[in-house]
Amino acid sequence: MIHEEISLYPLSDSNKGDTVLRIDNITDKVLYQEALVQSEKMLSIGGLAAGMAHEINNPLAGIMQTAEVMSKRLTDTELPANRKAAEQSGVDLDNFTRYLEYRGIPRMLKAIAEGGQRASSIIQNMLSFSRVDHDPYSTHDPVEMLEEILELASADFNLKKHFDFKAIGIVRQYSSNLPPVPCSKSQIQQVILNLLKNGAEAMCEKDSPAIPPCFILRIWSDEMRLYIEIEDNGPGLNSEEKKHIFDPFFTTKPVGSGTGLGLSVSYFIITENHKGTFDVRSGPGEGACFTIGLPLHN
Ligand SMILES: Nc1ncnc2c1ncn2[C@@H]1O[C@H](COP(=O)(O)OP(=O)(O)OP(=O)(O)O)[C@@H](O)[C@H]1O
Ligand SMILES: [Mg+2]
User: Domains (ranges, CATH) in the chain?
Assistant: 1-132 (no CATH), 134-295 (3.30.565.10)
Residue 186's pLDDT band (boundaries 50, 70, 90)? confident
Cα(73) to centroid of ligand 2, in Å?
Answer: 37
From the CA of 246, give the closest atom in ligand 1. Answer: 18
- Which carries the bigger pLDDT value, residue 30 or residue 90? 90
Q: For ligand 1, atom 25, which residue shows the shortest CA distance?
A: 262
Q: What is the pLDDT of residue 222?
A: 94
Could you give the angle at the alpha carbon of 57 between the alpha carbons of 55 and 59, nearest 5°?
85
pLDDT tens digit sequence for 85-124: 999 999 999 999 999 999 999 999 999 998 898 888 778 7
Q: For ligand 1, atom 7, which residue shows the shortest CA distance?
A: 198
Ligand 1 neighbours, Cβ below 6 Å, are 194, 198-199, 202, 232, 234-237, 241, 245, 250-253, 258-264, 288
Q: What is the pTM for the complete model shown?
A: 0.71
pLDDT higher than 90, residue 34:
no
Q: What is the pLDDT of residue 111?
A: 92
Distance CA(5)–CA(153), nearest Å, equals 46
Distance of CA 115 to the CA centre of its chain: 19
From the CA of 259, give the closest atom in ligand 1. Answer: 26
Residue 219's pLDDT band (boundaries 50, 70, 90)? very high
Task: Single out the residue of 158, 267, 261, 281 nearest to residue 218, CA to CA.
Answer: 281
Cα(225) to centroid of ligand 2, in Å?
Answer: 25
